[in-house]
Chains A and B, each alone.
Chain A
C-alpha cells in the first residue's frame, strides 16, 4: 500500500477540495438566481416565453455535461471572429468555461424543479394573495417563492449533490479540483489505487455534509409539509 503518497500530497488534496467547493457554490448560487425568474417564465401563459424556456431546459438536460463542456472549452476556438474579441481571454480560460457550463446546466435542471414546485402551490394561497391586493412582485416574494422553495427542497438538495459531483468533469479541462489532483498523482507516482480512493472519500464526506445540511433545512423550513401533523 502506498498511503504515504496520499499523505505527502494532502496539501494538494486540500487545494483540490477548496476548488471543488468554490466551483460548486459559485455555480449553484448563480444557477439559483437564474432559475428563479426562468421557473416563472416556464409556467408563463405566453407560448413564446414558455417554449423558449422549455427549449433551453430540454437541450441542456438532454445532452451530456461532458459534451457541453467540450463544446464551450474546445469548440469555441473554431470561430476566428470570437478569438479576436475582448471576450476571448475569458472564453479561453478553463475556469471560466467550466463555471459557465456548470451554471447553464444546473440552471436548466433547477428551472424545471422550481417550475414543478410553483405548479404544486395550492390555488387557495394564490387567491388569498390576490384577495389581499398583493402586487405581483409582493405575491412572488411572499407566496410563490417561499412555497416553491419549501416544496422542492428535497429535490433541489439532490440537484446540489449532482452538481457537486459534476464538477469532477472540470478535471477534463485541466482544472485541479479533487479528481484532477487524484489523476495527477496517479500519473506522477505510477500508482492507481490510493489516489482515487482518497478522492472518493473526500467526495463522500462532502456529500454527507450536504445531505445533512439539506435535512436540517428541510426540518427548519418545510416541516409544515410533513405528513402526520
Chain B
C-alpha cells in the first residue's frame, strides 16, 4: 500500500517540475527585460520597474496566487458582465500558478541580472560596438556568456526558492506532489508518512539542483579562464 501511494505522489513530480521549469523560463525572460529596463536612461521606466519590484516583493506569494487565481477572473467577469458580453473566464490552476510564479520571480531575477549586467566591463561592449557588431550579436557573444557566469549564484538561489514555492499551487487545486500527499494522508490516516515522502521529493530536487548548478558554475569558471590564457 505504501508503495502505491508513494509512487502516486512521486508521479506528480513531473507536474511539479514542469510547473517550476515553465515559471523559470518565464521569470528569466521577463527578468532580463526588466533588468535592461532598470539600467535604461529613461527615469520613468526605472521608477516603474522599481515600483513593480517593490509591490511584488512586498506581498506574500500565497496572496499573489490567490489574487491571480480568484480575484483576477472575478474582476474580468465583472467587466464582461457589465459590458454585456455573455463570456465567462476561469483560469486553470496550472497556468495561473505558472504565470504567477513567473511574474513573482521575474522581480527577483531582475535584481540578480541587473547586478550581473553591471559587472560586465563597459569597455567590452564599447569595443564590440566599435567593431560594428549588431546589438543582438553583442548580446549573444559578449553579454550573455558573462552574465551566465556572474548571475549563476543568484539564479540558483531563485530556482531553489521557486521549486519550493510550487507547493503553494496545490492550495489552488493543482494535483502536484503536495496535493497527492494530502490525498494519500487523508486516505490512509498516515499523514506524517506521506508528507515526509513529499518533503523527500522537494529535498531531492533542491539537493540535485544545488550540486548540478555548482558543477555548471565550476565549468563556466573554467571556460572563462581558458579563454583568457
Contacts and interface: CB of A to CB of B under 8 A. Distances in A.
Interface residues of A, number: 40
A136 interface: no
B54 to A, nearest CB: 8
Nearest to A166: B60
A70 B182 CA distance: 9
Interface string B46-73: 0000000011011111111011001101
B207 A62 contact: yes
Nearest to A66: B167
B178 A179 contact: no
B159 interface: no
Interface string A66-101: 111011001111110000000000000000000000
Contact of A192 (B64, B71, B171): B71
B63 A168 contact: yes
Interface stretch (B26-34, B144-152, B187-195): B187-195
B189 A67 contact: no
B198 A168 contact: no
B212 interface: no
B5 to A, nearest CB: 14
Q: Which 7 A-B pairs have the closest CB atoms?
A: A75-B192, A207-B58, A192-B74, A165-B60, A64-B167, A168-B60, A64-B164
A193 B202 contact: no
B198 A179 contact: no
Given A66-B171, A197-B67, A207-B57, 20 more contacts: A59-B203, A62-B164, A64-B199, A64-B202, A66-B167, A66-B170, A67-B181, A67-B202, A70-B181, A70-B185, A70-B191, A71-B199, A74-B195, A75-B191, A165-B61, A169-B62, A182-B66, A196-B66, A196-B71, A207-B59
Contact of A200 (B63, B74, B185, B193): B63
A179 B191 contact: no
A121 interface: no
B60 A78 contact: no
Given A66-B167, A193-B71, A75 B196 contact: yes
Contacts of B195: 67, 70-71, 74-75
Given A192-B70, A193-B71, A62 B63 contact: no
Interface of A: 58-59, 61-68, 70-71, 74-79, 161, 165-166, 168-169, 171-172, 179, 182-183, 186, 191-193, 196-197, 199-200, 203-204, 207-208
B170 to A, nearest CB: 8
A76 B192 contact: yes
A155 B192 CA distance: 33
A77 B178 contact: no
A193 B74 contact: yes
Contacts of B189: 78
B87 to A, nearest CB: 17
Contacts of A62: 160, 164, 202-203, 206-207
